[in-house]
């Protein structure tokens, strides 16, 4: 049994890609997408027809509606491959706008339902800002399940738990990147690997907190830099894994031991806390890593959203020229 198969015994494997063929090969339960992955995918010949068909069938739609329709078109095809759920992201430009986030999320779910996809199979991805978390609380109350992404701290995780969100995605690799860069030449890779990896430690702490205090929100480790980080989090509720690391796990036949479990979580769980807006903003501000990586992540997803807008508008112009 390879390590990917071993991992499936105690963790739900999620594909972090917009590539259908990779999903067919590695058979994940769920899949996650984001603007960066969709932008990358639609530039390939195999997926270009999805973009062109979306633009052709909704020629008079606004750019943001075409983006949502394209995301749903990808999501529908993904759900024909995976047996579980797909995560579809709200435009990162709404990360600090609760009302706009709610409206965009409702439209995504409506488009899925019009296409015959039950809302239970869709997770709406929203950045873990205070405004995003408040939007998720409202959406969850409406029966729209949310995946809170760009999460880098226990403070964000607790606020998500209090909002009763379905799932959170703490980012392992980006936390690791920040601490490695901050340490510079003093960074000791071997001393900061496995359970001592700063990203692994963050997710382990969140997992322990949730399991010890009976929080139903699912924990999905994300953003991995190497399979060592995945191995150290074996047993986490879900792990979303890039194609390259899925391949590495498939090729590795070493024994994989479970590292996280509800039974062992209590030994490292922080005390139960409550987070209001003031506490959230104060604690996040005091955490330089979480503050910087959240802001950076929103900027990156926003830039890719702008690129996707431009690609859609180019496709629209090409079709107009072709029609003439």
Closest CA to 10 of 244, 207, 226: 207
Q: What is the pLDDT of residue 324?
A: 62
> Tens of pLDDT along 105-151?
999 999 999 999 999 999 999 999 999 999 999 999 999 999 999 99
CB 240 within 8 A of CB 14: yes
- Distance linking the first and last C-alpha atoms of the chain: 58
Q: What is the pLDDT of residue 318?
A: 87
State how far the Cα of 58 lies from the Cα of 293, in Å rounded to an integer. Answer: 36
Confidence of residue 323 (pLDDT cuts 50, 70, 90): low
State how far the Cα of 282 lies from the Cα of 285, in Å rounded to an integer. Answer: 5
Closest CA to 156 of 14, 277, 240, 302: 277
Q: What is the pLDDT of residue 288?
A: 98
Burial of 26 per CB tally in 10 Å (0-12, 13-18, 19+): middle
Q: Which of 158-162, 207-211, 267-271, 286-290 bottoms out in mean pLDDT, i.e. has the lowest? A: 267-271
The answer on pLDDT for 320 being more than 90 is no
> Tens of pLDDT along 3-31?
999 999 999 999 999 899 999 999 999 99
Mark whether 125 is an active-site residue: yes
Mean pLDDT within 226-250: 97
CB 294 within 8 A of CB 129: yes
CA angle 297, 10, 173 (to 5 degrees): 20
Q: Which of 79-83, 140-144, 245-249, 315-319 bottoms out in mean pLDDT, i.e. has the lowest? A: 315-319
Of 40, 44, 99, 125, which residue is the catalytic one?
125
Mean pLDDT computed over every residue of the chain: 95
- The whole-model pTM stands at 0.96
Tokens of 101: 């986030």
> Tens of pLDDT along 98-113?
999 999 999 999 999 9
Q: What is the pLDDT of residue 30?
A: 97
Closest CA to 64 of 97, 26, 107, 21: 107
Domains of the chain: 3-323 (3.20.20.70)
- CA–chain centroid gap for 137, Å, is 17
Percent of the chain residues past pLDDT 90, beyond the cut: 89
Residue with tokens 């929103």: 298
CB 42 within 8 A of CB 70: yes
Percent of the chain residues past pLDDT 70, beyond the cut: 99
CA angle 241, 88, 140 (to 5 degrees): 110
Q: What is the pLDDT of residue 239?
A: 98
């Amino acid at each position: 049994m390879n390590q990917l198969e071993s991992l499936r015994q105690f963790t739900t494997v999620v594909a972090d890609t917009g590539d259908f063929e990779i999903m067919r090969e590695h058979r994940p339960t769920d899949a996650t997408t984001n603007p960066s992955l969709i932008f990358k995918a639609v530039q390939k010949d195999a997926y270009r027809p999805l973009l062109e068909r979306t633009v052709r069938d909704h020629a008079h739609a606004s750019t943001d509606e075409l983006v949502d329709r394209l995301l749903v078109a990808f999501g529908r095809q993904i759900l024909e491959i995976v047996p579980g759920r797909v995560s579809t992201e709200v435009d990162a430009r709404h990360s600090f706008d609760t009302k706009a986030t709610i409206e965009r999320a409702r439209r995504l779910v409506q488009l899925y339902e019009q296409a015959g996809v039950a809302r239970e199979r869709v997770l709406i991805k929203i950045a873990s800002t205070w405004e995003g978390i408040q939007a998720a609380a409202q959406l969850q109350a409406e029966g729209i399940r949310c995946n809170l992404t760009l999460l880098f701290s226990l403070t964000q995780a607790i606020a998500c738990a209090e909002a009763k969100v379905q799932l959170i995605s703490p980012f392992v690799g980006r936390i690791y990147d920040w601490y490695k860069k901050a340490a510079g030449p003093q960074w000791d890779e071997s001393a900061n690997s496995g359970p001592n990896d700063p990203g692994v430690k963050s997710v382990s702490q969140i997992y322990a907190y949730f399991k010890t205090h009976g929080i139903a929100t699912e924990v999905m480790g994300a953003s991995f830099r190497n399979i060592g980080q995945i191995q150290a989090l074996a047993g986490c509720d879900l792990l979303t894994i890039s194609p390259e690391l899925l391949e590495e796990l498939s090729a590795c036949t070493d024994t994989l031991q479970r590292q996280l479990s509800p039974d062992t979580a209590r030994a490292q769980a922080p005390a139960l806390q409550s987070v209001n807006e003031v506490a959230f903003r104060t604690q996040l501000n005091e955490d330089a890593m979480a503050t910087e990586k959240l802001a950076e992540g929103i900027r990156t997803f926003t830039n890719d959203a702008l690129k996707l807008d431009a690609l859609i508008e180019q496709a629209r112009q090409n079709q107009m020229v072709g029609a003439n």
